[in-house]
Structure 1
Amino acid sequence: MTDHSQARHEGRIALITGANKGLGLETARQLGARGATVLLGARDLRRGKPAADALAAEGLDAHPLLLDVTDPACVADAAAWIDERYGRLDILVNNAGITGAFSGPPSAATAGQLRKVYETNVFGVLTVTNAMLPLLRRSPAGRIVNVSSTVGSLTLNADFTSEFAGYNLVTYQSSKTALNALTIAYAKELRDTPIKVNAANPGFTATDMNNHRGHQTVEEGVVTAVRLALLGPDGPTGTSQDDTGTVPW
């Protein structure tokens, strides 16, 4: 049986998936700068450890954690490690995501191409969240932040006069729509608990995912995720937000 005496750790314990670079790494940096112990989930520790070491060199309490969101056994091992070391989890940021290689029209897509993106962006979020929920339930104020995208908004995409009218990346966009649905579903399940579940929309941020074509810096891109991760008791749950406010589903 795990000794949960370490659950009295004074600061927040935060797990960020896909945290060895980009938005995930910057989210870890900013949460760490606010006093959280940050666990950098990475599917390859050869990348995760140098990232965590860099944050530790900045004086942050940062640790690498092997976490391949598409591997249920690996996810279970990560949850067991957190349980053994800390006894709880206060913040889960489901940041890991891929765009997939397909960029053609929906009529040219295959189920395999869709499935590949969903394995990380949707099924991976479900797997990680379910594994971490027992730990989040031990937190006095658990927070789950799903990193989504405004390109997944059905409302915005259904408006052919909006800025999203020209986007039709079926694999990536539909995965973020599905992620939004997961966000609502978990918020409904957990609405009578202290746990809050929200989706953060970073905006078009310069990362490896878009070959650094985004017009925002990663520092700007994580503002919403960090804010939602640190929500007070009166904060919302079951919302989709960006740095200007609520994003329509």
Structure 2
Amino acid sequence: MTLRSSGDAQLNADVSWAAFDPIAYVDHNYRDLQAEDAEILSIVRDHFGEHFRKRAVGPVSGIDVGAGANLYPALAMLPWCDEVTLYERSSANVRYLRSQVDSFDGNWDQFWRVLCKNDAYAALDIDPRARFREVVKVRPGDLFDLVRHEGEWSLGTMFFVAESMTSSHEEFRRGVECFLRALAPGAPFAAAFMEHSKGYHAGEHFFPACDVGESEVYASLERFADDFKTTRLKSSAAVRDGYSGMIVAYGRRNSDSGIPPVGR
């Protein structure tokens, strides 16, 4: 698969997502804990831990949008959720995720250990695999269809999705908006983005990306988030070719009263 010319962006609907190879993707990205993911996990765990430490709320519902073949965003939500939805379009990734629910593979233990450096995770009174099996459900779905589920979840993550599903800046912005609109006002969130990505392989197939930097990420969030930050990772080892860094954004969903939803 090749990208179209810059004047004719490759849209999400153009891509054969069933061709995504989750096993190859995990082997390349998540078989071993890389410095970038350890840094992301430390930021996210402390953001979520601080949010819920200050607020005496019962169990909440969480969503990981575009979960792909990455379990660590769901693991980051485990201490506070009685339900975590792994929302994913690719049929191949859906099969992978479902294969992990009953007992996830051992490579994910190293990611959990990073999370356990925060007491909220270390104090979890149940084995993480049992907790994962108890609360996680896999739900096939298109990110853009989340406009029909506004405010449904109270905790959310979206890692390497909005900029990694299209080469269109318009679709990138719509993707971020759809994610945030799926969250209830006040819900904490975390999202991660590849900086200036040129596209990527998952197995033999090449997938498009949207070229964004920290300013574009910030602009996509500011109408829908309160008390949010964007930060470029300090870790600099290249996970793959064709990008210049990683960006993490985290904060809380605002109420955005008066802003018409996309697609309406």
Which TM-score applies when normalising by structure 2?
Answer: 0.43
Higher RCO structure, 1 or 2 (CA under 8 Å, sep 6+)? 2
Q: Of Structure 1 and Structure 2, which has the larger fraction of its residues in helix?
A: 1
TM-score in terms of structure 1 length: 0.45
| Higher strand proportion (structure 1 or 2) | 2
